[in-house]
Amino acid sequence: MSDAPRLAGYVETWWQAVQDLLAVLEQVPAEQWSTPTDLAGWDVRAVASHTAHLESILAGRPEETADVGEPPHVTGFMGLYTEIGVVNRREHSPEQIVAEIREVTSLRHEQLLADPPTDGAARPAVVFGGVPWTWEVLLRNRPLDVWMHEQDVRRAVGRPGGLDSRAAQHTADYLTESFGFVVAKKAGAAPGTTAVLDVAGSPTIAFTVNDAGRGERLPAVPADATVTLRTDRETFVLLAGGRRTAPQGSVTVEGDQELGARIVSVMATTP
């Protein structure tokens, strides 16, 4: 069976996420573009510039270069790479950055509609930074990235919303899939541990730690889980996205309290 319908769904979710981000950015006054976000070292301008950079490359524009120096908030190759777009747009006006996002995403959207990918395991001709992603990984990650940055901007400038969109659902559901890794590897839960994650608006999922020390998805939610975490979508995304710590009382832990607290403290799986 062709992967085309699923991949097309990712494209549509990404496209809606882009429109939502643009709508928010257009409402932000110029003086607020220097407002810090939850991402270390990045203000609203940096978040928008980063989005413009990646979408520009995916649309077929040439790779960019810049002397990014050694910013204290940057770690690893991808951190240095994503800083290029930020540096190159420091002197651009908000209107220029918004216009660039609109232009390159429109071009990209037209390309994807004209020649839609059908094999999720195939490699796209262009991926930013030469990352060896398949079509499945690339198209599934773009709505997440764009929506997370919409939320970064919203929190920074005090414009809450966008938590019930198609991209919000996609992102929350996607991030829950890493729960087994968090429990087994990051929290170091012992083999035999069963953990349940109940995020409002997403399917409740359960994992067990197998004898190899890996999180293994359970087909059903056990009634006697070692630990159960319940929270709302926004809190979960803040934790899983590495944006903020959990507000007091925003995560309910049932069962092993110490393990639950440990899992919450290491929930981040994406910067």
Residue 2 pLDDT class (50, 70, 90 cuts)? confident
pLDDT surpasses 70 at 1: no
The domain ranges of the chain are 4-158, 173-265
pLDDT one-digit tens code per residue, 226-246: 999 999 999 999 999 999 998
Instruction: State pLDDT tens for residues 142-201.
Output: 999 999 999 999 999 999 999 999 999 999 999 999 999 999 999 999 999 999 999 999
Task: Kindly state the average pLDDT of the residues 120-133.
Answer: 94
> What is the number of other CB atoms lying within 10 angstroms of the CB of residue 95?
11
CATH number of 4-158: 1.20.120.450
Report the candidate in 173, 185, 158, 153 with the shortest Cα–Cα distance to residue 237.
173
Residue 105's pLDDT is 98
112 pLDDT more than 90: yes
What mean pLDDT is reported for the chain?
Answer: 96
Confidence category of residue 76, pLDDT binned at 50, 70, 90: confident
130 SS3 class: helix
Question: In angstroms, what CA-CA distances link 42 with 59, 176, 217?
Answer: 24, 26, 36
- Which phi-psi region, left, alpha or beta, contains residue 113 (left: φ > 0; alpha: ψ -120 to 50)? alpha
Q: Is the pLDDT of residue 25 over 90?
A: yes
Share of the chain above pLDDT 70, in %: 99
Contacts of 77 (CB under 8 A, 6+ apart): 129
Give the integer Cα–Cα distance in Å for 68 and 87: 7
Non-local CB neighbours of 106 within 8 Å, separated by 6+ positions: none
- Whole-number Å distance between alpha carbons of 113 and 217: 35
pLDDT bracket for residue 75 (50, 70, 90): confident
pTM attached to this predicted model:
0.96
Q: 173-265 sits in which CATH class?
A: alpha beta
